Amino acid sequence: MNFEPIPEHEALRDSVRSFFDRELQEPKIREMDRARRVPRDLWKRLAQLGWPGLTVPTEYGGSGGDVMTSAILCEEIARRFPSLANYWVITSMAARVLSESGTEEQKAEYLHKLAAGEFLMSFGMTEPGGGTDILGLKTRATLEGGEWVVRGQKLYTSLADDANAILVLCRTHPPEGAKRSRGLSLILTPVHQEAVKVRRLELMGQRAGCTCEVFLDEARAPADAVVGEVGRGWHTLLRTLNDERIICASMYVGITAAALDLTVQYAKDRTAFGRPIGAYQAIQHPLADTAIELEQIRLLTARAAWLHTNGRECSTEAAMAKLAASEAAIRATDRCMRVLGGFGLVEESPLERLFRDARLGPFSPISNEMVRNFIGERMGLPRSY
């Protein structure tokens, strides 16, 4: 076992922190949260720093980063601006799907642009009928006159109103018997066409990242717009699930760390009855509990990332990391709120935003109930759904 920090990882952490200190400080972040937008100019600036291209292979203009590196970048972004981290997660997953399952033409067309911050792709899986029972989706696509015609509706498609294209999971062929996962395809559908209508849904947390309802009323996509094998879209997605869970876990590690840092400082500075409030056990104990949980989720996430990066099986560990980190972030922000007293509720306090931003974790990208079901199954218990 080696817990020695890796110099490249530490350099990446330092560079992210110094970017925020120099160019994206708290007042600007608060402004974007209130405006509910990550401006495209900011995304272009981040492209100069190589962030959107971190997981794009080097031959397509990125730096070919592994999951360990991705988790570090995501954690550091989330410490300051979780909505931006979520934006980054979606882009990094787009890079992974395209580079692992795209055709040579798709890679050449999209990956350079994605690394340059000029192409944004959303994921359209969830529908109004449900997100957990995703295989019951209703969106259909058929090949008509040499192109795909997509009919249906998606819900909670993050970044769709900023995106150039949505990777739409839809049924192109009938299921094979009871196997609903068969016959689904991933079609890269351009957003900017009359037949695609996008409606923003305003969120309580992760506001600047935004999520949308998408109406696909005979939307068109070229015949070669399928990413991965036709009829095997679900299996294409499964290849990226562990990456996504580990990177999401790192986002909640970042939120927990940020909440703890700022609250410990507050407990040192704020006085009551002539002493810093941090001198009282009632304040110290929840902070100590949070510090322990932070260490636990950091280790779980790091181990899952290490397993993934070294080509080992990691689906249980990735699921555990996502669940533990997302729930720890909720507990941490709640405890820290109490320590901050009234200031925790004021918008000037970053904790107010962290508290809201942490709320997404227990059900995205998969609900923690389903994660528990999965872990139960991995222990050899019967499938519960």
Ligand X SMILES: Cc1cc2nc3c(=O)[nH]c(=O)nc-3n(C[C@H](O)[C@H](O)[C@H](O)COP(=O)(O)OP(=O)(O)OC[C@H]3O[C@@H](n4cnc5c(N)ncnc54)[C@H](O)[C@@H]3O)c2cc1C
Query: What are the beta bridge partners of residue 68?
Result: none
Buried b vs exposed e over 172-186: b needs ≥16 C-beta within 10 Å?
A: beeeeeeebebbbbb
| Residues in a beta bridge with 232 | 184
What is the per-residue binding string for ligand X in 180-209, x denoting contact by CB under 6 A? Answer: -----------------------x--x---
Amino acid found at 273: F
The counts of H helices and E strands in the chain are: 12, 9
Q: Which of 101, 211, 250, 349 binds ligand X (CB under 6 A)?
A: 211
Q: Is 360 in the site for ligand X (CB under 6 A)?
A: yes
Residues 12-31 close enough to bind ligand X by CB under 6 A? none
Q: Which is nearer to ligand X, 125 or 351 (CB)?
A: 125
Q: Which of 106, 126, 185, 326 binds ligand X (CB under 6 A)?
A: 126
Distance CA 241, CA 142 (A): 27
Nearest residue (CB) to ligand X, 254 versus 365: 365
Cβ atoms of 137 and 127 within 8 Å: the answer is: yes
Whole-angstrom CA distances from 16 to 3, 12, 46, 77, 356 are 22, 6, 10, 7, 23
Residue pointed to by tokens 């970053």 = 350
Q: Which is nearer to ligand X, 66 or 327 (CB)?
A: 327
Q: Which is nearer to ligand X, 170 or 300 (CB)?
A: 170
If we measure between CA atoms, which residue out of 234, 197, 254 comes closest to residue 75?
Answer: 254
Q: Contact between 170 and ligand X (CB under 6 A)?
A: no
Least distance in Å: CB of 256 to ligand X?
19
State which of positions 258-297 bind ligand X (CB under 6 A). none
Counting contacts by CB under 6 A, is residue 57 touching ligand X? no
What is the residue whose two structure tokens read 């322990």?
292
Region from 62-70, 126-134, 172-180, 225-233 binding ligand X, contact rule CB under 6 A:
126-134
Minimum distance of ligand X from residue 263's CB (angstroms): 25
- Out of 132, 142, 265, 271, the residue judged to bind ligand X by CB under 6 A: 132
* Distance (Å) of CA 236 to CA 32, 114, 120, 193, 233: 34, 20, 19, 26, 5
Q: Please, are residues 91 and 267 in contact by the beta-carbon 8 Å criterion?
A: no
Q: Which stretch binds ligand X (CB under 6 A): 179-187, 227-235, 250-258, 362-370?
A: 362-370
Question: Which spans of this chain sit near ligand X (rule: CB under 6 A)?
Answer: 122-126, 130-132, 156-158, 203, 206, 211, 360, 363-367, 369-370, 373, 385
